[in-house]
Structure 1
Amino acid sequence: MRKRFSEGSTIASTVATGDDFDELENTFQAFLAPDTVKLHTPAPTGFFDISQLSGLRIPGIDPNGLSVYEMTLDSDVVLDGEETPDAYTVVVTIAGRNRMAIGRDPVPARHVLTGPDARFRACFEHADILLLRVGRQLVADAMSERLGEASRSTLQFDPAIVETSGMDQWIRLLHTFSETAASGLFDRSPLAATHFEKLLLHGLLDTQPHSLSGELAQDRPRPASTALRRAMTYCQEHAAEAVSIGDLAVAARISVRALQLAFRTELGLTPLEYLRRVRLDHVHQDLVAIAQGRAEGTVTDVALRWGFTHLGRFSGLYRETYGKLPSETARLSA
């Protein structure tokens, strides 16, 4: 599984190749939480090859994007690391052997899915691997689209991928995606790539069990009200501003009372509760950017920027939503 992509492709490229396993460790550090990554090669012979077939060619992960990699390890490699706060990674073992543990728990499956901030240990034995990395925000946006409301917490997938008929078909779809990307077709048709990526993402949400599978199974409709959609869009576009329920009513072109009824009936929230969720998600994204070195500031700066003036209540709300304190996400002190 080496260099299957067409030469000259603007999307596909070699990320790292050779027999210097220190370079391989540096590559993993660039794409994961770097201060956590340790790589051990019991017998450092043979070669490695990592090729990116789609997605932005940048270290780490685009929170709003999706990328696919092929990895060949002609050696035994043990990788200890931590996923970034912004990514999910699907590890599909094509050949050889891959034994993984999430935290201290072994995952009894050939194919594995890791989530944001997950600590893992992977033991690759002369393995050919297909990797799909999906941005956390892309998953959150897809769930919001499906459920008709902003996600209340970070979605958690079951780590073990069991090859039921549905997941088996999804894995074949991933293979097809990688082959199509390698062929260069997506260079010529970015629209085709976008549609294929959505198919992969929604197929994963429907076939791999996760913390919101029950809500998807209820087949909840998207908000039917045009007025409500206007109000939700206004929340997204003006989250950094002082927004009143009157502002939302004007944007929705209905009365305050009708707006309150629409939010309560269709989303089970008040308009300002929905706005608070939107702002909290912006807070989370800013803190992740600080942790990754893409932005500067403190937890207090970020909280105040998005309208959270009572820091104690803000910390409690953040922890309830994301399962950790804001400072733990940003890896700095408030």
Structure 2
Amino acid sequence: MPHTRSRRGLPEAFEFEGSGDAARDWLEQAFGARLRLAGELGDVRHHRTDHGTVAFDHLSIGGRVTFDADALPTLVVVDVLGGSITYTRDGATDTAHDGETILASGWQMPFTGNGECYDIRLTSITGDLLAAAVAEIDPARSGPDARFRSYVPHSQAAAARWRATVDELAASFPDVSAVLGHADASLLLGHTLLDTFPNDVVDGFTRAGARGELYGDSPSAVRRALNVIEDRADQELTLEQLASTVAVTPRALQYAFRKELGCTPQDYLRRVRLDLARQSLRDGSSDSVGDAAARFGFFNPGRFASDYRQVFDENPGQTMQRNPS
């Protein structure tokens, strides 16, 4: 079982371990909806960390399962850590494999699907948080009324940004007693979700040219910096350049990242680039491990391999061997 902090921020203690009807009942209670799980399931392990407006779950199912679920009371994003899982909702069917991200369904939307021997991380966002994130972009809207045009990320960089953000927040989410830090982290996650999946809230803005207009005078320098990192993840980008682009000093940006994400801007950028390197090995767009490393700014092979193992619990070559082509 993965246990490093970097590897998706997974906790070591699980709230439930079991199988059969006990597992079915547990999961329906945990997610607050009828899931209608069918199949052998195998061994089921589940852990949840709940922060009020945001919850992080780690779920592994050891057998083949199908589901025909009612609408969930939260919006749920799934990061696949192992195996694969398929969702059908709103007439669209999408499958995510290890290292990929998928939106289980739109807001208050039932869904069906299946998977076999999969290991996933789920991030749940309440309607109140989604509504707050939407209102910051378009104050004329009321409620969590975002309509998603696709349930897969709009780009590999967007997916890498989402996973890097969840990695850090799942590992060090501000305590609810730190009101400002907790609220900032929650809104950061809400906006990251809206920036990850195509939707009618942000689609009216160009991602490259109008990010500043989209968020106006938002106090979150981190939020603006994450947009820049997504857009320029494959380019040379120093701390000074990043800080200048979001109109703060390097020291202020470092402080903001520490406060909201618990890491430095450089650490976050490295994590996004490692994810992009992994995607390129997984989909065959890089011809070799060295090609993937150099493509995303890693010019020390030993350091790249070490960082990669720490985050993904495997060597880059092992990822490449699973290239479906």
**Range of TM-score over shorter length:** 0.5 to 0.7
2:55 corresponds to 1:67: yes
Residue aligned with 1:214, SS: coil
Q: Structure 1 17/103 Cα, relative in aligned 2: closer, same or farther at 3 Å? A: farther
Distance 2:215 2:68 in 1: 42
Distance 2:143 2:170 in 1: 32
2:115 corresponds to 1:124: yes
Aligned to 1:291: none
Distance 1:143 1:32 in 2: 24
Residue 221 (structure 1) shift? 7.2
Q: Structure 1 108/50 Cα, relative in aligned 2: closer, same or farther at 3 Å? A: closer
Q: Indicate which of 101, 119, 123 corresponds to 2:88.
A: 101
- TM-score for both structures, normalised by structure 1: 0.52
CA contact (8 A) 1:33 1:81 kept: no
1:113-152 matches, within 5 Å, as 113=103, 114-151=105-142
1:289-304 matches, within 5 Å, as none
Residue aligned with 1:179, SS: helix
Query: Match for 1:122: what amino acid?
Result: G
Q: Structure 1 73/201 Cα, relative in aligned 2: closer, same or farther at 3 Å? A: same
Aligned to 1:206: 195
Q: Structure 1 134/116 Cα, relative in aligned 2: closer, same or farther at 3 Å? A: same
Query: Match for 2:77: what amino acid?
Result: V
Output one character per residue of 1:20-65: Cα deviation in whole Å (capped at 9) or x when no partner.
Answer: 221222123224463x421112x443x1111112324xxxxxxxx1
2:11 corresponds to 1:16: no
CA contact (8 A) 1:147 1:216 kept: no
Q: Structure 1 159/54 Cα, relative in aligned 2: closer, same or farther at 3 Å? A: same
CA contact (8 A) 1:33 1:82 kept: no
Q: Structure 1 187/2 Cα, relative in aligned 2: closer, same or farther at 3 Å? A: farther
Residue aligned with 1:37, SS: coil
CA contact (8 A) 1:2 1:49 kept: no
Aligned to 1:165: 157
Residue aligned with 2:170, SS: helix
CA contact (8 A) 2:102 2:153 kept: yes
CA RMSD for the aligned pairs? Answer: 3.3
1:13-52 matches, within 5 Å, as 14-18=14-18, 20-32=19-31, 34=33, 36-41=34-39, 43-45=40-42, 47-52=43-48
Aligned to 2:65: 77
Output one character per residue of 1:130-170: Cα deviation in whole Å (capped at 9) or x when no partner.
Answer: 10111122111221122233337711222123552122122
Distance 2:124 2:202 in 1: 20
Residue 178 (structure 1) shift? 1.9
Aligned to 1:250: none
Q: Structure 1 210/115 Cα, relative in aligned 2: closer, same or farther at 3 Å? A: same
Q: Structure 1 54/193 Cα, relative in aligned 2: closer, same or farther at 3 Å? A: farther
Query: Match for 2:197: what amino acid?
Result: Q
Query: Match for 1:137: what amino acid?
Result: D
Aligned to 1:285: none
Output one character per residue of 1:227-272: Cα deviation in whole Å (capped at 9) or x when no partner.
Answer: xxxxxxxxxxxxxxxxxxxxxxxxxxxxxxxxxxxxxxxxxxxxxx
CA contact (8 A) 1:74 1:127 kept: yes
Q: Structure 1 68/51 Cα, relative in aligned 2: closer, same or farther at 3 Å? A: same
Aligned to 2:270: none
Residue aligned with 1:155, SS: coil
Distance 2:171 2:82 in 1: 17
Q: Structure 1 135/152 Cα, relative in aligned 2: closer, same or farther at 3 Å? A: closer
Q: Indicate which of 194, 197, 206 corresponds to 2:186.
A: 197
Query: Match for 1:195: what amino acid?
Result: D
Distance 2:177 2:83 in 1: 34
Output one character per residue of 1:74-128: Cα deviation in whole Å (capped at 9) or x when no partner.
Answer: 22222220223x4211011111111221155311444321222322123122111
Output one character per residue of 1:183-208: Cα deviation in whole Å (capped at 9) or x when no partner.
Answer: xx748866544433222221222232
Q: Structure 1 206/15 Cα, relative in aligned 2: closer, same or farther at 3 Å? A: same
- TM-score for both structures, normalised by structure 2: 0.53
CA contact (8 A) 1:98 1:122 kept: yes
Q: Indicate which of 49, 55, 63 corresponds to 2:51.
A: 55
Which structure's CA Rg is the greater one? 1
1:244-255 matches, within 5 Å, as none
2:178 corresponds to 1:178: no
Query: Match for 1:22: what amino acid?
Result: D
Distance 1:128 1:50 in 2: 10
Residue aligned with 1:67, SS: strand
Query: What percent of counterpart residues are identical?
Result: 16
Distance 2:203 2:112 in 1: 29
Query: Match for 1:37: what amino acid?
Result: L
